[in-house]
Structure 1
Amino acid sequence: MNINRLVWIIMHVAANIKNYKFSVIYLLLMLIVSCRRSTEIGAPVVNSSNAVLPAPTKQLSIVPVKIDTLVNHPVLERGVIGEWDSTDVLNPSVIKFKDKYFNYYSGFDGKLWRTGVAVSNDGISWQKFVGNPVLAPSISDWDTGYIAGNGTAIYFAQRIYYFYQGINDRGIANIGLAVSDDGFHFKKHPNPILATGPAGAWDSDSVGDPFVIEKGEALYLYYLGQDSVGVQRLGIAKSVDGLHWTRLSNNPVLDIGAGGSFDENGLGEPSIAYQPPYFYMFYTGRASDEIRNIGYAISTDGIHWKKISTTGLISNKLRSEWFSKVICDTTLIAVGGGKWAVWFGGGNLPVPAENLNGQIGMLILDLGQQRDMTSFDANSDWSRSLVKSTDVLLGSFEIEGDLGKRSTWLGPKAHLTLATTDHAGNSMAGKPIIVEGWAPAQFISSKTGQYEPLTISISINGKIAAKRTFVSDDMFRIEILWPEIAQLLDHTGFVEMDMSADRAIVPAQFGVSKDSRNLSFKVTRIYFH
């Protein structure tokens, strides 16, 4: 179905209508399952890595997030009494597969959590699979406990990978994997793909709430970790195959809130949206009275996060009765124009884990930034943009000069993400990328006394696309043709452009000025031509 039609339908509908030894273990585990979506196979889990997502880090000051539309009724309801999902329907994970929306959700019958699937043409009207549930606790493996759900689905390597939470016979929660070719029938891997951390670690007692994204040539798993005293935080692991995972060395990446905040009692169930230049993390926050809401944090690299919300994303006046106490479990898909369709779990009973009268709702978030994402122009009116130029072109400095003659200095490394479709939906296919600026090769040589050429390299999605060498101070215009760009694009459709220079100067060190910035070259404009 056409995405614009999907957004129209949503607007139309909206307008018309858990871990100690065992009893204590069980209680804490209840906090890590249902609305708390919260090992490598054949080898121990590696506990740390310096791996990061391919973009520099920067502290952020603003973030545009707006609720565009909130559907006021559940889009996926509980089953009738006696069915496997009759008590709670929560933890949606929605993907596009075979031109339809597939929703992998957790159902609870009062005894067991299991995973089912529903299919939709528009994301609002869902048809549950007659063969549900598609995933249940095992009889004798590591996930023999009462949960086999709280998962996340991703289309990867021509198959659907579903990462889910399971509990073993000792009450320990780990993360497992089931794989499907058709979206309905799954085969489990025999061991957890991410087990608890070592004794004393921040995730030593339980791991759960997986959410996986693909970025570059790797998968990144965002997950909940719980320590021996029940404190919950969020961390990240990395993999190239979905089976063997390496924890990042700077875990945990997000902590619980301060006293009195909406997430002071715990946080989990992360979901990630990439709307360049930002990664947005939406997560469930638990207040002291167990009322839950969605919080969000932002990042420019997917690793280092800054919390934005202190009171939750959805205000009390926007809550319908059916999700008056609990809003959790977000999953999301871009629908164009900076807007994202978001499905979430909701309930009207503020209890820690289950029996919430849980059902699944939907809203549209507007993450648009009021700028042309297919270009960077120093002479644009950045006062109208919802983001800073230095966030868009990472590694750059504040724009300088008079109107019409503006430019920005770059350091030795810079990063820019370009969309290949503009805000109106027009494709940039067939157009070359032009990079215009000034290379101060002779200036750097004369001030440093080292007479060497200056080389500027440009990579797209990690592969060299252009290189230019300068021996004098020159204005430049570097052109990268579309056929070469097309070969380097990944599944996201974004152009991840890295620019680097092999020389730089700090003017203050050479008496040129008091300027202490590390400067390599200037850029005026980067655009599809």
Structure 2
Amino acid sequence: MGRGIAESKDLLHWVKVGELPLTQAVEKNGIAAPGARVIGGVVHLFYQTYGQGAKDSICHATSVDGVHFVKDAANPVYHPTKMPWSVGRAIDAEVTVMPDRIMMYFATRDPQMHKQIIGAASAPRHAKLTRGDWTDVSVDAPTLTPELPWEHICTEAPSVVEHDGFYYMFYAGGWNNEPQQIGVARSRDGIHFTRLSDEPLLANGAKGSWNSSESGHPGVLQVGNRTFLFFQGNDDGGKTYHLSKVEIGWRQGRPYVLPDSSAATASPSLK
């Protein structure tokens, strides 16, 4: 498994422009789940090792153009070490820049490798974001753990944005094609999150629709004052995956899917 890079001028039509090659020993089984953030004019890419079970961890690379990346020689740069509720695994990383620090949200497993849960780490605001810069934050308890029926035993793929003084975590609930669906939780401090609903914000599609098997693995992008929620979906139980997006509106501190960009009508943008 590897990572591709696509480019778009309208967030709808995408053209592949590159790949992140597998060059380091830690990547021998592949890499997955990239999350990019521009910090100080540099693109910081965080991605996970693949197929190593409890030993999967987070790697780091940087780029000045978003296409050509220099990998961190210290890879992997992070996995949790001080969280007794975690087996020590880290996948699905995404970084959010806050006024006083940089937060990394990631998915991990409980010590029995049974439940998929979400944790958090932090680094100083001007750190290089390499190994040794990250400190476990959610030490006493997970940032988010599966509790609702539709989440089954899996919460993963956190994607966090700030809006009007709150941090909103869009996350996937349920394993891939269980179906996986997308929920949202809110936090004032970026550490303690509370769900905004017992139901998914973005559910899988109805039978016969392109995303009937799932609407999963969210990625939120802010463009000016607009918010877009990217996600993966398919209709064949995971044999073929597609990427699409919906636009998010905000009402009284709560995100909602704008009616004219519902998942049912938002056909795949990338196949």
Report the TM-score range of the alignment, normalised by the length of the smaller protein.
Answer: 0.7 to 0.9
Q: How far apart, in 2, do the equivalents of 1:287 and 1:136 lie? A: 33
How does the TM-score come out when normalised to structure 1? 0.43
Q: How does 1:273-352 map to 2 (within 5 A)?
A: 273-275=221-223, 278-290=226-238, 291-301=240-250, 303-305=255-257, 306-307=262-263, 309=265, 311-315=267-271
Residues 217 and 240 in structure 1, CA contact (< 8 A), matched pair in contact too: yes
Partner residue in 1 for 2:59: 116
2:144 maps to amino acid: L
Q: Which has a greater percent of strand?
A: 2
Q: How far apart, in 2, do the equivalents of 1:308 and 1:65 lie? A: 18
Partner residue in 2 for 1:197: 147
Partner residue in 2 for 1:165: 107
Residues 210 and 222 in structure 1, CA contact (< 8 A), matched pair in contact too: yes
Aligned residues: 247
Q: What are the superposed Cα offsets for residues 60-82 of structure 1, whole Å, 9 maximum, x if unpaired?
A: xxxx7532x523431x12235xx
Q: How does 1:162-311 map to 2 (within 5 A)?
A: 162-170=104-112, 171-181=114-124, 182=127, 183-184=129-130, 185-189=133-137, 190=139, 191-197=141-147, 201-226=149-174, 230-249=178-197, 251-275=199-223, 278-290=226-238, 291-301=240-250, 303-305=255-257, 306-307=262-263, 309=265, 311=267
Partner residue in 1 for 2:21: 77
For residues 71 and 231 of structure 1, do their structure 2 counterparts lie closer, same or farther at Cα, with a shift above 3 Å needed? closer
CA drift at 1:313: 1.1
Determine which structure has more spread, i.e. the larger CA radius of gyration: 1
Residues 101 and 121 in structure 1, CA contact (< 8 A), matched pair in contact too: yes
Residues 184 and 197 in structure 2, CA contact (< 8 A), matched pair in contact too: no
CA drift at 1:286: 3.1
Q: How far apart, in 2, do the equivalents of 1:99 and 1:218 lie? A: 24
Q: How far apart, in 2, do the equivalents of 1:202 and 1:237 lie? A: 15
2:70 maps to amino acid: Q
Q: How far apart, in 2, do the equivalents of 1:275 and 1:98 lie? A: 17
For residues 250 and 300 of structure 1, do their structure 2 counterparts lie closer, same or farther at Cα, with a shift above 3 Å needed? farther
Residues 219 and 229 in structure 2, CA contact (< 8 A), matched pair in contact too: yes
Residues 281 and 298 in structure 1, CA contact (< 8 A), matched pair in contact too: yes
- The alignment's C-alpha RMSD in Å is 2.7
SS at match of 1:303: strand
Residues 264 and 287 in structure 1, CA contact (< 8 A), matched pair in contact too: yes
Unmatched 5+ stretches in structure 1: 1-9, 15-63, 316-529
Residues 209 and 264 in structure 2, CA contact (< 8 A), matched pair in contact too: no
SS at match of 2:255: coil
Higher relative contact order (CA 8 A, sep 6+): 1
Identity %: 20
Q: What are the superposed Cα offsets for residues 365-416 of structure 1, whole Å, 9 maximum, x if unpaired?
A: xxxxxxxxxxxxxxxxxxxxxxxxxxxxxxxxxxxxxxxxxxxxxxxxxxxx
Q: What are the superposed Cα offsets for residues 448-475 of structure 1, whole Å, 9 maximum, x if unpaired?
A: xxxxxxxxxxxxxxxxxxxxxxxxxxxx
CA drift at 1:165: 0.2
SS at match of 1:244: coil
Q: How far apart, in 1, do the equivalents of 2:82 and 2:193 lie? A: 26
1:279 maps to amino acid: T
CA drift at 1:310: 5.5
SS at match of 2:227: strand
Residues 80 and 136 in structure 2, CA contact (< 8 A), matched pair in contact too: no
